[in-house]
Amino acid sequence: MRKNLPLTLLGFALAGSVQAADWDHKDIADALHSVMEADRTVYTKLIVNRLANQEKVIKASEHWKDDKALVLPAQMFRYGSEAVAEKGAKFSYSLLSLWPINKQNNAKTPVEKAGLEAVNKGEPYYTTETLGGKKYFTAIYPDKAIAKACISCHNDHKDSPRKDFKMGEVMGGVVLRLPVK
């Protein structure tokens, strides 16, 4: 035991750091969202907006498989979230809006409704809610029009309930939920 004392102490130290006791739900949510937002921005700007709008070499389409086109940024985000769910991750996230093209992505729970209204001012919204008997820490982050592709697609889509989005405007929100014990 004495021989292994330094190793044991290192183990305790590592175990302590793994627990990340100084990170609260908000910190974890913010960290997860920063990765999501960065990837979403990169895909939207460097892939979709560049290839479809600037260089016009390929289209982006909701029916990307049939149209042999790029996956839309919102679909890319959703497929990622579904893949995370399939892996059995303990958190969940989705891209919602008060003006969704797909009506299933409308605000549904009271927190989503309040949160999506709140993030219109551009700041995140944090709260807790109970869904299906379980308690969640819910963070909602504004999702803004960062490229022409965002507004042109939503303003022109036949199922879009709003057709006057401008660059930089909040178009919806990323809703991230962490279970609370």
Strands in 62-151 per DSSP E: 92-96, 125-131, 134-144
Minimum CB separation from other proteins for residue 171, in Å? 17
The CA–CA distances, whole Å, from 154 to 75, 92, 167 equal 13, 25, 12
* Cβ distance to other proteins smaller for residue 81 or 97: 81
CA distance 39 to 63: 22
Closest CA to 145 of 129, 168, 175, 122: 168
Choosing from 10, 13, 31, 85, the residue that interacts with other proteins (CB under 8 A) is 85
Q: Per-residue string for binding with other proteins, 136-175, x by CB under 8 A?
A: x--------------------xxxxx-xx----------x
Closest CA to 33 of 25, 44, 43, 21: 25
Choosing from 3, 19, 66, 121, the residue that interacts with other proteins (CB under 8 A) is 66
Q: Which residues bind other proteins (CB under 8 A)?
A: 62-63, 65-66, 81-83, 85-86, 92, 94, 103-104, 108-109, 112, 131-134, 136, 157-161, 163-164, 175, 177
